[in-house]
Amino acid sequence: MFLHIPSRHKLPPPWVTPLLVIVSMAAFLWLALLPEGPAWRDSLERWGVLGDSLPVNPHDGLRALVDGRALKLFTALFIHTDWSHLLGNLLFLVIFGLPAERAMGPWRFLLLFLLGGAVANLAAALMMGAPARTIVGGSGAVSAAIGAYLALFPRAKLGIVVPLGLFLEFVRAPASLLIGIWALLQLIFTFVGPAFGAVAWWAHVTGFAFGVLFALLSRDAVARRLRGG
């Protein structure tokens, strides 16, 4: 949609995506240095989302804002429990976040990440069916970045490595095809996912949908930015 819009000025380099990577890595190292036991579990509960602590009515929602429970929807985005969880999210954030931020601008992209991630965490907590489970990780926010990338660059191509016998072949495939397959898998796993481990699949689906909608609603502002208006 926006790939062929000429820019009349040089866009500044992205800085929000690298900052999000640094903050996520710092939070992971801080958590990893805590001794396993009550202190570690207490930190997860302090910064993660607990489904049974969510507001159930508007009045409780106001109290959640005052007492800080609602802020956990945001702080949970930076908490990861293992290296694979962290590095997987950061890899996808860099691949899709950098071009999305460059097109959208840093502040709009930061809003996308935080708000999309919070909405995704809320949806996961409501749909999980395990109110006592703590939800952590930036998967929902990263999914929002993927959705925004697809809406902004529907004709883009992504490089992938395909195993062909004894050799590895680097090919370029339509981003819409690859992301579409990924999104379909996330939707399928929302129903069969519990058999594959404790993953907040609903956060992925909700975050992706939020990112697509956010980018479409922002397309006029993004177009003006790329044109230098």
Q: Where are the beta strands (DSSP E) in 24-165?
A: 49-50, 134-135, 157-164
Work out the number of other CB atoms within 10 angstroms of the CB of residue 126.
13
- Express as a percent the part of the chain with pLDDT over 90: 41
What pLDDT does 1 receive?
41
**Full set of structural domains in the chain with CATH:** 17-227 (1.20.1540.10)
Q: How far apart are CA 190 and CA 201, in angstroms?
A: 5
| 198-202 mean pLDDT | 71
What crossing angle do the helices spanning 38-47 and 16-32 adopt, rounded to 10°? 150
Q: pLDDT tens digits, residue range 32-81? A: 888 877 878 888 888 888 765 665 555 555 566 556 678 888 999 999 98
Higher pLDDT, 209 or 66: 209
Model pTM greater than 0.85?
Answer: yes
The kind and range of the H/E element at 26 are: helix 16-32
What pLDDT shows up at residue 59?
55
Q: What is the pLDDT of residue 43?
A: 83
pLDDT for residue 2: 43
Among 80-94, 122-136, 207-221, where is mean pLDDT lowest?
122-136
